[in-house]
Amino acid sequence: MIGIFDSGLGGLGIFKKIKAMLPDEDIYYYGDTANIPYGEKSPDELKGLITAGLKYLEKKGVNIIVIACNTASVLDTTYFRRQVKIPVVAVVPVIKTASNQSRNNKIALLSTKATAISPYTDYLIEEFAPEAEVKKIACSGWVEAIEKGKVSDHRLNSCLKKVDEEDVVVLGCTHYTLIKGDIQRLLGPNKILLDSNEAVARQVLRVMNKEKLYQHIKKPRYIFDASGHKKKFQKMVDRYLEEIA
């Protein structure tokens, strides 16, 4: 069984990609909605919350965990891998892909505050886009709005107006992939919009193949669980799974 951990609904795009690539595997999705948003919390607080979430999934019997939250992944993936006894795959902003696709070497990274100021994000930029000019844009309030299903053009434009000459825009928060269509519409057709969802699913496929983790379930189960209000969470899960590509 594949476990997916996120602060809330953000990992649903990754869930859909994994489900498409591995259609005969059980998936247990866990959102830490009681503690969302993660983007403004301290590193120490986040380590405690994320570790608790990973251990919760491990106890549920999953044999691999996907950290589907950029804020968590760029904090300290090595630390989190040491907290559980099963493989952990983590999502990070696709800076390398953005660098390869940008025509003018100008990239915008939309993310939470925690991801924007993370030293690991700086490392990714220095390592994979040394020639590019990367504008880091922290989009305050987006995660909360997406969780509530109340995303307005006004709120989105408060952040998107900072995107200027950048021809490639990286979605550095998995929550933002749930409204990718709205972001593309507001940015216009000339901006290339990238996310990490498919890349993460491919990595899960590679790790499961290497570690021989396949279970090949005839009728796979898809379980959605949350640390907060479970019925509200399920309602939003159903809504976004219908809407996202």
Kind plus residue range of the DSSP H or E element containing 67: strand 64-67
What is the distance between the alpha carbons of residues 80 and 103, in angstroms, rounded to a whole number?
36
- Is 173 among the catalytic positions? yes
State the catalytic residue, choosing from 173, 178, 192, 200: 173
> How many angstroms separate the Cα of 16 from the Cα of each of 11, 12, 20, 221?
9, 6, 6, 13
Which residues have CB under 8 Å from 9's CB, separation 6+? 31, 146, 147, 175, 178, 233, 236, 237, 240
Pick the catalytic residue from 49, 65, 69, 213. 69
Q: How many CB atoms lie within 10 A of CB 145?
A: 16
Active site (annotated) includes residue 159: no
Return phi, psi of residue 16, to 5°.
Answer: -65, -40
End-to-end CA gap in the chain: 23
* Interatomic CA distance for residues 149 and 144, integer angstroms: 9
Catalytic positions = 69, 173
